[in-house]
Amino acid sequence: MLLFGLWGGVVADRYDRRTLLLWTQTLYAVQALLLTVIVFSGHAALWLLYVLSFALGCVFTVENPARLSFVTELVGRALIPKAAGLNILSLNAARLIGPAIARVLIGAIGTGWVFALNAVSFTVVLAGLLSIRPRAREARAVSRPPWTGAGAEGLRYVAARPELVGVFTIFGLAATFAVNFPTTLTLFAGRVFDVGSRVLDLPREEKE
């Protein structure tokens, strides 16, 4: 995001967002499939995990702005606040429920098969995107933003509006120091409590 985030937004503005989402979700599925293969093969080298993580992040720089702006094409401007609220609710619910489900599945079928299920789950997302017929983009007649200078123009736009600077500052602090709990929980499970993913979400009395 730090390296290519600005240009990811430019891509989302230049091209059809539904098409971009189809491509990015497909790339997500490919990454998940590769991760499944290396886990089952027993050759999950650290450098390979770094490469897959970097590739995932690169895809995310395009998928995230395309997905968020795609909401306007689905519901129109009048319903954006409600749609955004529903999107955030579903995201936070997934963050709470997902790890618990993963812990149960890892204990039942193993880590490799959980990665495999994750890879297969993208077929549902792709099927949903293929079934969607979004509204026509209101800015269709406007020329595409240029590649050169678009990122700097976006930064100047935000810098000239104190209210946006405040929002981005608060969000940056929260995203950096508060929303990194997946990493924090993993470190606590492995280095503090000396347990694995199978007991990461168990109640404390069960761990003891």
Question: CA 50 → CA 5, 8, 127, 193, distances in Å?
Answer: 19, 21, 29, 25
Number of domains in the chain: 2
Q: Rounded to whole angstroms, how far apart are CA atoms 199 and 207?
A: 7
Range of the domain at 61: 5-160
Same domain, 101 and 153: yes
Q: Rounded to whole angstroms, how far apart are CA atoms 94 and 61?
A: 21
Same domain, 155 and 167: no
Same domain, 97 and 194: no
Residue 41 CA neighbour count, 13 Å, CB half:
10
For residue 155, which phi and psi values (nearest 5 degrees)? Answer: -65, -40
Same domain, 22 and 67: yes
* Per-residue model confidence as pLDDT tens for the chain (208 residues): 777 877 888 888 888 889 999 999 999 999 999 999 999 998 888 899 999 999 999 999 999 889 888 887 788 778 888 888 888 888 888 877 887 888 888 888 888 899 999 999 999 999 999 988 766 555 444 456 666 666 677 788 888 898 889 988 988 888 777 777 777 777 777 777 777 665 654 444 444 4
Same domain, 156 and 167: no
Same domain, 46 and 26: yes
